[in-house]
Amino acid sequence: MSSRSATRQRASHSNAAPPSQEPIIHDVFEKTTGTWQYVVADPTTMTAAIIDPVLDFDPATQTISTQAADSLLSLIMFWGYKVDMILETHAHADHLTAASYLQSRLALQQSGHMPLIGIGKRIEQVQRVFGERYGVPENECQNVFDKLFDDDEEFEIGSLKAKAIHLPGHTPDHLGYHIGSNVFCGDSIFHADIGTARCDFPGGSSTNLFASGRKLLALGDEVKVWTGHDYPPEGRDTPVPWMTVRQHKQQNKHLKEGVSEREFVALRDERDAKLGEPRLLHQSLQMNIRAGRIPKSASSGPAMLHLPLKGKGMKW
């Protein structure tokens, strides 16, 4: 069954008898980057939000394309949703965001109703760090996000109540979105057989991630934790979008009950020291601090991204 068919089947089941204040959730897996994208909709008003959408990128040819984002647009049109918000959990370092592309396409599809792009208020700190590192003009990062969420800020998706939860650790700006009995945790907690996300990016902290994990696992046992990525290890063939808080307490290899902060920090730091950089690290960060907008074209040619030059065993 295709991912779209599976999504439609799950949504159809949810549509039959949605619990009070519970959303319809479409989970759409982008397998090239292992990213879970979500469309979260209010069954009463058919108002929706998109969480962490992906823009396709081929590093061999430096080509951007929109297959993943266009599949989300097709899903939204099929169900007749009106998208009010595009929500980012953080400035991703492993895929390009489709937020700006979707915003412009949805404004046309929705007769001028343009969804807001939202992210945590600490994105400005991240923009400064990576803007300087990559030489991004300051004006290309200013006001590219329409909504900067405060910690624990409440908002609405149609008649659904939602809350932005600060979950630092993977990055300092990281948010989760608590909607009904669901929390979309981005790159905080992964499937129980993987554990948690890396903390070695600028502003990352394994101590903070432990606290964020404990914050998530302090929610009710039946709350569903929807992850931002999945990379099924040997023995598990299918990506899984969510597990309950209870399942994580019992099974999460990094955060299950009984694991102390000291044990977690030692484990996470040792693991991070052995990790290579994400395949799309530099392209992703330069695009994502711009909310997915293409860099402005140079007068002498096309838009440019900067990549670091590395040498191995070279003598000049």
pLDDT tens string 15-72: 333 445 899 999 999 999 999 999 999 999 999 999 999 999 999 999 999 999 999 9
Whether 314 maps to a domain, the answer reads no
Q: Answer yes or no: is 150 within a domain.
A: yes
Reported as a single tens digit per residue, the pLDDT across 246-303 is 999 999 999 999 999 999 999 999 999 999 999 999 999 999 999 999 998 766 678 8
Helix spans in 80-196 (H): 99-109, 123-134
Q: Could you tell me if residue 174 is inside a domain?
A: yes
pLDDT band at 313 (very low <50, low <70, confident <90, very high): confident
What are 197-213's pLDDT values in tens digits? 999 999 999 999 999 99
Mean pLDDT of the 89-111 span: 97
Is residue 36 included in any domain, yes or no?
yes
C-alpha distances in Å from residue 254, one per residue of 21, 82, 144, 313:
32, 38, 35, 37
- List the single range of 2-6, 60-64, 108-112, 115-119 with lowest mean pLDDT: 2-6
Q: Is residue 227 part of a domain?
A: yes
Q: Kindly give, in sequence order, each residue whose CB lies less than 8 Å from that of residue 302, ignoring residues fewer than 6 positions away.
A: none
In a domain, 38, yes or no: yes
User: How far is Cα of residue 138 from the mean position of the Cα atoms in its chain?
Assistant: 24
* Six-digit token string for 108: 């046309």
CATH number of 190's domain: 3.60.15.10
Q: Which domain holds residue 180?
A: 3-288
Q: How many domains does the chain have?
A: 1
Looking at every residue in the chain, the average pLDDT score rounds to: 92
Decide if 96 contacts 288 (C-beta within 8 A): yes
- Asked if 220 contacts 123 with a C-beta cutoff of 8 angstroms, the reply is no
Q: Is the pLDDT of residue 150 over 70?
A: yes
**Which pTM was predicted?**
0.91
- The CA distance from 95 to 87, in Å, is 15
Q: How many percent of the chain have pLDDT more than 90? A: 87
> Is 293 a member of any domain?
no
What is the β-pairing status of strands 82-87 and 47-51? Answer: parallel
Residue 303: predicted pLDDT: 85
Distance CA 297, CA 285 (A): 18
Q: In the block, which residue shows the tokens 């599976």?
A: 6
Summarize the confidence of residues 174-189 as an average pLDDT: 98
The fraction of the chain above a pLDDT of 70, given in percent, is 92
**The pLDDT value given to residue 44:** 96
How many Cα atoms within 13 Å fall on the side-chain side of residue 59? 14
312 domain residue, yes or no: no
Range name among 112-116, 232-236, 306-310 with the lowest pLDDT average = 306-310
User: pLDDT at residue 10 above 60?
Assistant: no
Buried b (16+ CB within 10 A) or exposed e, 288-301: bbbbbbebeeeeee
